[in-house]
Amino acid sequence: MPAMNMTRPFSWHHLNQWHLGIVANVLLIGAAVVYGLAARRVPAWRVSRSVWFCLGLVVTFLATQSVLGVYDMEYFSDHMIQHLLLIMVAAPLFALSAPLGLAYEAGDERVRRFLDGRLMQVVTHPLFGFAAYFVFIPITHLTGLFNLMLEHEWVHHLEQIGFLVVGYLFFRVAFGLERGFTIHRGLRLVYVMAAVPVDTFTGLALVMSSNNPFPRYTTMSPAGSTKTSILANIHLGGAIMWIGGDALMLLACIPIAVAWVKWETVRTKELDAVLDAQGL
């Protein structure tokens, strides 16, 4: 019989706890250094995009290395907060920083050929980004993959990376700041809103669970946890996914809508100027 987890239940006194992983911090620092060096090679690169990248790293650090990282294997609700921070906060910030655009500007001919190649054309296509998000969310929360993540730390870390990558591929299309295949600014709102049902369905499926869908939580939950408390926490995580996920998606629509209105305003003025020049 597997031993029970002896981790103490979370309390607000634990907010100052940190889970400082060496590999994770090396990756975060390495990403910051690479982006900074690349930005220095492109004098015209916007400072605001570098700021977005740094903010994305900060959110990633807090999601994985703060108290959220301490309890992300013990509480499903904590895992869902971490998930939302990675895929719906950090990933959009990285999309706003346009890393692939920077790589194209700062890279040599080999980098440009790779970014223009067939593989990257597929990976950065809007349909790929949408399909990846549409599939990744339920698979990582409604299948045995989640239980596997609880059993193996390396699977958990791959899942965290997956949240960032899938979120970036999705939101890069929604913001349309990078080169490549893009969609109309108005359709970007439709693109984002079409993904909302995925979060809603996944969250509701968890909220309505009558049994613990992840048996590993029986041993991973903090000492003193009962079947009732574990199930209640899974319901809480589902509600966070449902309400929090939908709210963050709607929040992401605000800058997209503002950019669309500004673009339409400029287009209207340009069209009016053309018509005036033609005496119409």
pLDDT score, position 89:
96
Mind listing the pLDDT tens digit for each residue in 185-230? 889 999 999 999 999 999 999 999 999 999 888 888 887 788 999 9
CA distance 276 to 60: 51
Q: Is 51 helix (H, G, I), strand (E, B) or coil?
A: helix
Mind listing the pLDDT tens digit for each residue in 130-181? 999 999 999 999 998 999 999 988 999 999 999 999 999 999 999 988 988 8
Mind listing the pLDDT tens digit for each residue in 67-111? 888 888 888 999 999 999 999 999 999 999 999 999 999 999 999
CA distances to 8, 99, 113, 228 from 3, rounded to whole Å, are 15, 44, 53, 19
Phi-psi region of 87 (alpha: psi -120 to 50; beta: other; left: phi over 0): alpha
Domain ranges of the chain: 18-277
- Locate all alpha helices (DSSP H) within the chain, ordered by sequence: 22-40, 47-65, 67-70, 76-85, 91-96, 99-106, 109-115, 118-123, 126-142, 144-151, 153-175, 185-193, 196-207, 217-220, 227-239, 245-277
